[in-house]
Chain A
Amino acid sequence: GAGVSQSPSNKVTEKGKDVELRCDPISGHTALYWYRQSLGQGLEFLIYFQGNSAPDKSGLPSDRFSAERTGGSVSTLTIQRTQQEDSAVYLCASSLVRTGVETQYFGPGTRLLVL
């Protein structure tokens, strides 16, 4: 079946503008994660959604970052007033929660460049 998809694949924006990044998880997956991959920081967890539970936002680097997940499926990560240090690849992953260990399936990422 279809994997995790993300859009856009690339985004160039000017400092101070807002951006929205979209993630379509694998159908039926109840857990959704956002990670950020940057040269200086490696791969970092940002936020986690599981069903109707309150999201785990512990990885969001500042209050300029927010995310929502509508209808338990598609998620949007929003970055307000972008800064140059926000330039990174934003990866989304989804998993089917079971008893035991979940495998997270990753999308191809959105490459964000803030000028």
Chain B
Amino acid sequence: AQSVTQLGSHVSVSEGALVLLRCNYSSSVPPYLFWYVQYPNQGLQLLLKYTSAATLVKGINGFEAEFKKSETSFHLTKPSAHMSDAAEYFCAVSDQPGNTGKLIFGQGTTLQVKP
């Protein structure tokens, strides 16, 4: 069964600093991986997804993530944090192919950006 682990429930960075949010997955088949962002009192918005094409995936708002099979990781990065990046971030794996496509989420990481 697939699972996702996000290391660090809370990450704090200074504005302009590198953002690194960690995600490790467990999957018996080639995974489809996602990063979603949730702003306060809003639903989830897709940042980016990995679908077995390029291992380096670029998303919205300057975020990117690299799929590393050897490390079973899909960490999210952004070179320079902005105050508007403060939100909760979720890594997820899909139970595709062959199944319903339901998402299995990590516990989430809250990103705080300090001025």
Which residues of A are at the interface with B, using a C-beta cutoff of 8 A? 4, 31, 33, 35, 42-45, 48, 50, 56, 59, 91, 93, 95, 97, 100-109
Q: Confirm or deny: B77 has a beta carbon within 8 angstroms of a beta carbon on chain A.
A: no
B32 and A101 within 8 A (CB): yes
Categorize the interface residue count of chain B: 20 to 34
Contact of A101 among B96, B100, B105 (CB under 8 A): B96
Which residues of B are at the interface with A, using a C-beta cutoff of 8 A? 32, 36, 41-46, 49, 51, 90, 92, 94, 96, 100-108
With both chains docked as a complex, state the minimum distance between the C-beta of B16 and any C-beta of chain A, in angstroms.
Answer: 30
Can you sample 8 A-B contacts with CB below 8 Å? A35-B103, A42-B105, A43-B92, A43-B103, A43-B105, A59-B102, A104-B103, A108-B43
B46 and A48 within 8 A (CB): no
The number of inter-chain residue pairs (CB within 8 angstroms) is: 56
Contact of B43 among A56, A100, A101, A107 (CB under 8 A): A107
With both chains docked as a complex, state the minimum distance between the C-beta of A61 and any C-beta of chain B, in angstroms.
Answer: 15
Contact of B45 among A42, A102, A106 (CB under 8 A): A106
With both chains docked as a complex, state the minimum distance between the C-beta of A83 and any C-beta of chain B, in angstroms.
Answer: 23
A45 and B32 within 8 A (CB): no
The binding surface of chain A is classed by DSSP as: strand
B43 and A31 within 8 A (CB): no
Contacts A42-B107, A108-B42 hold; do A101 and B102 have CB atoms under 8 A apart? no
B43 and A4 within 8 A (CB): yes
Q: Which residues of A contact B36 (CB under 8 A)?
A: 106
With both chains docked as a complex, state the minimum distance between the C-beta of B95 and any C-beta of chain A, in angstroms.
Answer: 9
Q: Which residues of A contact B94 (CB under 8 A)?
A: 101-102
B102 and A56 within 8 A (CB): yes
Q: Which residues of A contact B101 (CB under 8 A)?
A: 31, 48, 95, 97, 101-102, 104
Contact of A45 among B44, B104, B108 (CB under 8 A): B104
Given A106-B44, A108-B42, 18 extra CB contacts under 8 A: A33-B102, A42-B106, A42-B107, A45-B102, A45-B104, A50-B100, A56-B100, A56-B102, A91-B43, A97-B101, A100-B51, A101-B32, A101-B94, A101-B101, A102-B96, A104-B103, A107-B43, A108-B43
